[in-house]
Amino acid sequence: MRVLRVALDLPLHRLFDYVVESASPDDIGLRVRVPFGRGEKLGVIVEVLAESDWPLEQLKPAIEILRDLLPLPADFFRLCQFASAYYQAALGEVIMQALPVGLKRLDPPTRRNARASRPSVALAPPALTQEQTIAVAAVDPAAGFSAHLLHGVTGSGKTEVYLRLVERALADGKQVLLLVPEINLTPQLEGRVRSRFPDAGVVSLHSELAEAARERNWRAAFSGEASIVLGTRLSIFTPMPRLGLIVVDEEHDASFKQQDGMRYSARDVAVFRAHQLGIPVLLGSATPSLETWANAQSKRYNLITLLERANPEASLPAIHILDTRKMVLQEGVGAPLVAAIKERLARGEQSLVFLNRRGYSPVLACPACGWVSRCTRCAANMVLHLADKRLRCHHCGCEHRIPKACPTCGNQDIHPFGRGTQRLEGWLQETFPEARVLRVDRDSVKSRKQWEVMLDRIHGGEADILVGTQMLAKGHDFPKLTLVGVLGADSALFAADWRAPERLFAQLMQVAGRAGRAELKGEVQIQTQYPDHPLFASLVKHDYPGFAAEQLKEREQAGFPPYAFQAVLRAEAPEMADAIAFLKTAAAMPLIGEHENIMIYDPVPMKLARLANLERGQLLAESYSRPALQAFLPLWREAIEGIKSPSKLRWHIEVDPLEF
Ligand code: ADP
Ligand code: ZN
Ligand code: ZN
């Protein structure tokens, strides 16, 4: 008799023991079917033991050990153990979330074999610039673990640096994991990597892949058959037997943070994984997160800088700050921007009008009684979508028809309030009847396929004026685009969220980087009522280091991250009073008094206090010492597990939260 200790996909901080006739330590890492409750579950064998903490006769026998996959390796378990401990997540959940859905099924569909990829000829790389040469040389794979920040302005050729490092790793017989933000995983990048390394077996891993494709790609990475994995955050846990380099592109991007289930930062896990394996990790960005920048300043990370655009013909765009207090605006657009668009039209170049979405989503309002279209399930307004004539809640997704009259007073003259991309699109089309106006937002682009088609149209010169939100800001090269106009930036300047300036700066640098990527000179116009704000002074000079220094000074004075370490306990329940009472109990636990380095704040409702009919509250725990916080959290979590709470109450802990 042997005991299998099994990880199951449950939010419980324990593993489950089963008995089998025979098993050996070589079976650790195999999947196993086990009875659970009245049914059956699929888990992963974490240990094979002779004894259990329970009498053997009380343990149920496992049903079947699956041997269609090689055992998950020891370094995979080490990584999952780290994530479980660091993020206060159940080990079983961490292990199971790392597997593609297809491998977690009890009744797997029959698999088709992977299509053989066509052999092709590798595209020749360009000669590196001097800065790129220095950057590539700075990463020494023979030196064991090293973390690097590649800080390079948009268009400075960071991708080329990644590709050279990939090339070297492949030559050494290693695998490479290239992490990219959700939105950047366009066929363009994949195509670029594939055409450079046609024989490396490039696979992508992201949430939009069909189940079968994802399993196939995951297996190729795990077997070592694929040497390059191009993936979004979920791919950071993919076991890869010969992993020799991790690259995180756009490391500041919010999509590296998982916001539900196990809440983790794939960027931070990447650094930890590289550390465990003794390999280099490279984080790249034009506007690094302030956490990463602080690590580079303190020399924990090696800083590599690209100051020039790689294409010698391309220069950084001129950024102009336009004071809207001195102009008449039409649909939010000032005369200088109108004139600049006209010039571009005359020259056959493209313009982009970029809306900072916050403050730009139109809601429906009644001028007579003050009614606004609020979501009945959330503490949020419903947004007006003219194209399909619906009101939609962007938080819970519920939607309604547009009412013909005010539901409160019956007034038939109800108006959209706030400007949306659709209204702006309409106005631009009226103002420039000869121009082809193309709107790019979540409404016009719903799937990856539509996104590809849209990008092809833009590249093919089928649009003169683009109107868009975040989607257009990142990672795209439109050679004919020479003008970017930014509307609605101000709402982020004075937001309560102290991370808002960091995000705004990154976003404005990104979107400005769209202008003048090729030979044509780019211009950026940012409309604001606060032209003297210091953020704009840094922006005009393309001075990220200056901006970061200013922000870090403020954070240090205020005692915010990265100078403090945080975790947040959140509770949600049908009644806010229940959520807050639960948090109050958690805030008053005696063990807190034994940890003098830990500061616990008062429970408060979350910014979006009601979501999908649940009231949400939170409690911040903070320390100036990360080890102190890490020592406190598991004890606190265990104590919280003992709190008696209403059955509908749910809670979780998030470590290093980005949003409150
Ligand atoms: P980033 O990722 O820093 O925004 P990219 O790697 O996309 O920049 O490079 C920007 C542009 O410069 C691309 O069109 C790329 O082909 C070109 N480029 C990159 N490196 C070189 C080089 N060494 N010589 C010539 N062109 C280059
Ligand atoms: Zn009314
Ligand atoms: Zn809602």
Q: What is the pLDDT of residue 506?
A: 93
Full DSSP string of 128-182: PPHHHHHHHHH--GGG--EEEEEEE-TTS-HHHHHHHHHHHHHHTT-EEEEE--G
Whole-number Å distance, alpha carbon 328 to ligand 2 midpoint, is: 30
Q: Are 339 and 186 in contact (CB under 8 A)?
A: no
Closest CA to 660 of 303, 259, 253, 62: 259
pLDDT value at position 358?
A: 52
Q: How many Å lie between the centroid of ligand 2 and the Cα of residue 374?
A: 13
Amino acid 633: pLDDT: 97
pLDDT at 108: 65
CA of residue 69 to ligand 3 center, whole Å: 42
Q: Hey, is 305 helix, strand or coil?
A: strand
For residue 156, which atom of ligand 1 is closest to its CA? 3
Domains of the chain: 2-73+90-104 (3.40.1440), 130-306 (3.40.50.300), 318-359+419-554 (3.40.50.300), 565-655 (3.30.70.360)
SS3 533: coil
How high is the pLDDT of residue 503? 92
Q: Is the peptide bond between 562 and the residue preceding it cis, with omega within 30 degrees of 0?
A: yes
- Spell out the long-range contacts of 497-505 with Cβ–Cβ below 8 A and sequence spacing 24 or more: 497/607, 497/659, 497/660, 498/555, 498/558, 498/560, 499/658, 499/659, 501/535, 501/551, 502/289, 502/290, 502/551, 503/254, 504/356, 504/535, 505/287, 505/535, 505/538, 505/539, 505/544, 505/547
pLDDT averages per 10-residue partition of the chain, 660 residues:
95 94 95 95 96 92 95 97 96 95 80 54 86 97 95 91 97 97 72 91 90 94 96 96 97 93 96 98 97 97 93 84 90 94 95 75 80 84 80 83 90 77 88 94 75 84 88 74 89 79 91 78 92 94 96 93 96 95 96 93 88 92 96 96 93 92
Q: Which atom of ligand 1 is nearest to the CA of 286?
A: 3
Residue whose CA is at the smallest distance from ligand 1 atom 5: 157
**Predicted model pTM:** 0.90
CA distance 106 to 109: 10
DSSP-derived 3-state class of residue 289: coil
Max CA separation in the chain (angstroms): 84
Alpha carbon distance, N-terminus to C-terminus of the chain: 50
Cβ(49)–Cβ(12) under 8 Å?
no
Tell how strand 598-600 and strand 481-487 pair up. Answer: unpaired
Residue nearest to atom 16 of ligand 1 (CA): 157
- Minimal-distance CA residue to ligand 1 atom 21: 310
Atom 15 (ligand 1): residue with closest C-alpha? Answer: 157
Query: Which pLDDT score, from 0 to 100, does residue 50 have?
Result: 94
How does strand 650-655 pair with strand 598-600? unpaired
Q: What is the DSSP letter of 339?
A: H
pLDDT score of 359 = 45
Instruction: Kindly provide the residue ranges of all beta strands, DSSP E only, lying in 372-457, ordered along the sequence.
Output: 383-385, 390-392, 399-401, 415-417, 437-440
Which long-range CB contacts under 8 A does 120-123 form with residues at least 24 apart?
A: 120/195, 120/198, 121/198, 122/195, 122/196, 122/197, 122/198, 122/199, 123/195, 123/196
The ligand minimizing its distance to the Cα of 372 is: 2
Which residues have C-beta atoms less than 6 Å from ligand 1? 126-129, 132, 152, 154-160, 310-311, 477
**Residues 633, 594: contact at Cβ < 8 Å?**
no
Predicted pLDDT at 73: 96
Neighbours of 645 (CB within 10 A): 17
